[in-house]
Amino acid sequence: MASKDQNKALGRGIDALFADADEPTSEAAVVDLALTDIRANPYQPRHKFDQAALKELASSIEKSGVFQPIIVRQPDAEIKKYELIAGERRFRASKLAKQTTIPAIVRDVTEEQMMEVAVLENLQREDLTPLEEAEAYESLMKKLKLTQAEVSKRLGKSRPYIANYLRLLGLPAGVKQLIQRGKLSMGQARTLLSLKDKSKLAPLAKKAVKDNLTVRQLEQIVARYNGDTAKPAKKAAVKKSPYIRASEEQLQEKFGTAVSIQTKASKKDQGKIEIPYLSNDDLTRILEILKIDLN
Tens digit of pLDDT for each residue in 196-255? Answer: 898 999 999 999 999 999 988 999 999 999 886 544 444 445 577 777 877 887 787 677
Query: Which H helix or E strand runs over 245?
Result: helix 242-255
pLDDT digits (tens, 9 = 90+) for 5-17: 434 444 444 454 4
Q: What pTM did the predictor assign?
A: 0.57
Q: β-strands 70-73, 101-107: how paired?
A: parallel
Residues 39/84, Cβ–Cβ less than 8 Å: yes
Write down the domain spans for the chain: 4-124, 128-170, 184-230, 235-295
* Alpha carbons 211 and 220: distance in angstroms, whole number: 14
Indicate the fold that domain 128-170 takes in CATH. Answer: Arc Repressor Mutant, subunit A (1.10.10)
CA angle 200, 205, 206 (to 5 degrees): 105
* Alpha carbons 264 and 274: distance in angstroms, whole number: 14
Compute and round to an integer the Cα radius of gyration of the chain: 24
Q: Which residues are catalytic?
A: 88
CA neighbor of 86 nearest in space, from 58, 50, 118: 118
Q: Which CATH architecture has domain 4-124?
A: Alpha-Beta Complex (3.90)
Sheet bearing 30-34, strands edge to edge? 30-34, 101-107, 70-73, 82-86, 38-39
Residue 61: band (very low, low, confident or very high) from pLDDT cuts 50, 70, 90: very high
